[in-house]
Chains A and B, each alone.
Chain A
Amino acid sequence: MTYLDNAATSYPKPAIVQKAVWDAMTIYGGNPGRSGHAMAMRVSEKIFAVRSSAAAFFGTELENVIFTQNCTMALNMAIKGVMRQGGHVILSCLEHNSVIRPIYKLHKEGICNYSIASVFEDNDEATVAAFENEIRPDTRAIVCTHASNVSGAVLPIEALGQLCRKKGLLFIVDAAQSAGVLPINMKTMNIDFLCMPGHKGLYGITGSGILLINSETKLDTLLEGGTGSLSADREQPDFYPDRLEAGTVNTPGILSIGAGLDFIRNMGRENIYQREFRHCKRLYDILSGVQGVHLVNRNYTFGRNAPIVSFAFDGMESEELTRILNRYGFALRGGLHCAPLAHEHYNTADGGLVRFAPSVFTSDAQVQDFSRKVQIIRKKPLGSLEL
């Protein structure tokens, strides 16, 4: 099986990540931040080291690194933590359901209002202007993806961060497809809340994520409970990370993120992106010349696209094509990718798209083989492809 579904979760995981998870179960037992025995203290030390590592990697203070179950949880914490007080929020037309659904729920409950700003993929100024045009007196925040999980299109995060600073808005960024791949610095990009999975570009295991904070705004809590601190108080602590980390943390997940960050540092984030981009560009160029293949991106440009190429065959549902590709030994995802807004934008809501998402472990030969097989399948009469 050739795994090309790394935008859903990365596979395989680096050997040092596998070892970190094994170590979590064999060496780093105990509950971090709860007990005082040597084992608990050892694991607390490891969790702290990962917190420090993530803070340094993304440009914030270590106590503002909150470990979560996934990116969706981080986004819910940031969005609801900010918007539960009411007001208006702006999101992009490329957002995942993990952004639109929490906002829509708050909207349905009469708590907040929202607007959707258009994204112009070849014109950053127009995109920023589209956001600016949606700002109202009661606008509190902009929430947007760094890179679309459908097309890989990169949004002008730095310029949007500047807009938020200028207008006094909070800036929440979904880095599900960019963390570990594209450059991100919360301070220089004026990002207040940065949300990411641990299990995609950071190479950690599923069930892990991070919310990073670079803001004086105290987020309202989604969960309350034990933190190992101020235990006699009925109120949740007001300091991070304890305020947002109620309950025992996911030690194997956190240690896997730490090892994943070490892996990225060793490989070089830019080297990883260059390699993955090269695979995507190659496929993009090949499929651009194949009749009957519809590519969602008009261009595929270094720095402007995360390592994702999505396409469809004319006259075939994307889910059907992924079933056929699976039979040929390729693991890819089809359908809407939990991002119906993006499909409305790309006019692909009917059949969805097949998403090609390589990782640093994908080889040139695998990409060549995949592109060849796609062309073979395309040439076959549609009726002959039934499973």
Chain B
Amino acid sequence: MNAGTRKMLILDSITFAHKARDYLMKKGIQCYIERIPKHLHINGCGYGLRVDRDAGIIAEMLRDAGIRVKNIIDIQ
């Protein structure tokens, strides 16, 4: 974990952001749906899931649950 570095998981759509959020919350993992910052847009606008720790592990968990994570980006 990199203290002070927040990450955003980029998902296909707002629907998948909600689905991923619900899945992680059931596992006790805090996360927040946010609009992807404009300067970080990949292929246009969209929504991502902000996590405060272990982004790589969380992305793997989501992939294992059948939720595609397109990218992980630093948001600060």
Residues in chain A within 8 A of chain B (CB atoms): 32-33, 35-36, 41, 44-45, 48, 51-52, 62-63, 227-233, 237, 239, 241-242
Residue from B12, B13, B44 having most chain A Cβ neighbours under 10 A:
B13
Q: A36-B34, A242-B12 are in contact. Are A44 and B18 (CB under 8 A)?
A: yes
Contact A63 B44 (CB under 8 A): no
Q: Verify A230–B46 contact, CB threshold 8 A.
A: yes
Contact indicator A230/B15 (Cβ below 8 Å):
no
Tell me if B75 is interfacial: C-beta within 8 Å of chain A.
Answer: no
By the criterion CB–CB under 8 Å, are B43 and A228 in contact? Answer: no
Interface string of B5-30 (1 = CB under 8 A from A): 00000001111101100100000000
User: Smallest CB–CB gap between A154 and chain B, Å?
Assistant: 33
Closest chain-A Cβ to B39's Cβ sits at a distance in Å of: 14
- The verdict on A239 contacting B13 (CB below 8 Å), with A36-B34, A36-B35, A45-B18 known, is yes
**CB contacts between A and B, total, < 8 Å:** 60
Give residues in B with beta carbon < 8 Å to A.
Answer: 12-16, 18-19, 22, 33-35, 41, 43-47, 68
Contact B45 A239 (CB under 8 A): no
- Docked pose: A179 CA to B46 CA in angstroms: 33
By a CB distance below 8 angstroms, the chain B residues around A242 are 12-13, 15
Most buried by B among A48, A227, A233: A48
Given contacts A41-B33, A62-B19, A63-B19, contact A231 B14 (CB under 8 A): no
CA distance A33 to B13 in the complex (A): 8
List 29 contacting pairs A-B, 8 Å CB cutoff, sorted by A: A32-B14, A33-B13, A33-B47, A35-B35, A36-B47, A41-B33, A44-B14, A44-B33, A45-B18, A48-B14, A51-B15, A63-B15, A63-B19, A228-B45, A228-B46, A229-B12, A229-B46, A230-B44, A230-B46, A231-B44, A231-B45, A232-B41, A232-B44, A233-B43, A237-B12, A239-B16, A239-B68, A241-B15, A242-B13
CA gap between A63 and B18 in the complex, in Å: 10
**Central interface residue in B14, B34, B43, B68, by most chain A CB within 10 Å:** B14
Chain A residues with Cβ below 8 Å from B35 are 35-36
* Max count, chain B CB within 10 A of own CB: residue among A41, A52, A228: A228
Find chain B residues with CB under 8 A from A233 CB: 43-44
New A-B contacts (10) at CB < 8 Å, excluding given A35-B35, A48-B15, A231-B45: A36-B35, A36-B47, A44-B14, A44-B33, A45-B18, A63-B16, A229-B13, A230-B46, A232-B41, A239-B68
In the complex, the answer to whether A228 meets B19 with C-beta atoms within 8 Å is no
| Chain B residue nearest in CB terms to A232 | B44
Distance of A241 Cα from B17 Cα, bound (Å): 13
B43 touches A230 (CB 8 A): yes
Min distance, Cβ B73 to any Cβ of chain A, angstroms: 16
CA distance A51 to B35 in the complex (A): 21
Chain B residues with CB below 8 A from A35, complex form: 35
**A103 shortest CB reach to chain B, Å:** 30
User: Which chain B positions have C-beta within 8 A of A229?
Assistant: 12-14, 44-46
Give chain B nearest CB distance to A30 CB in angstroms: 12
Q: Which residue of A has the minimal Cβ distance to B44?
A: A231
